Amino acid sequence: MTKEEIIISLPYSKPFLFVDEIIHIDENGVEGSYIFDEHLDFYKGHFKDHPVTPGVILTEAMAQIGVVCLGIYLLNNEFTKNSVIALTSSQIEFLKPVYPKEKVIVISEKMYFRFGKLKCQVKMLNEAEETVCQGTIAGIIKT
């Protein structure tokens, strides 16, 4: 699968698609990016005078790029629109805020992939290449 085909295969759509680009992907990991649109609804109420991206959204972006995109790649042509994806665990440490219009880079390294379960070490960097959050995320993909 190409990088573009992987993004098209994701079971998400705007406003809940947090993948703009896959920069690099291979059997050991993935790197991708996303720019947080300032008009996303959660910014209206998450610190109303000083909007910040919620941690759960940062975790979701890390999961979409770092686990789901990689899982689709690893499954190659076995992934279909009938495949089921589920988050099984996440342990994320938040270090810096992410603001509206900010571009982030997600870098994921595969820890293991067996029996449909993928576990990755994932980190998110801001445009200054500072780590804004990091941790482990695991999920299952059933085809």
Q: What is the CATH number of the domain that holds 96?
A: 3.10.129.10
Catalytic: 39? no
DSSP H or E run through 137: strand 131-142
Q: Are 69 and 25 in contact (CB under 8 A)?
A: yes
- Choice among 24, 39, 46, 50 that is catalytic: 46
Residue 50, domain extent: 3-142
pLDDT tens-digit series, residues 19-76? 999 999 999 999 999 999 999 999 988 887 899 999 999 999 999 999 999 999 999 8
Integer distance in angstroms from the first to the last C-alpha of the chain?
Answer: 16
Number of domains composing the chain: 1
Query: pTM score, two decimals?
Result: 0.94
d(CA 126, CA 72): 25
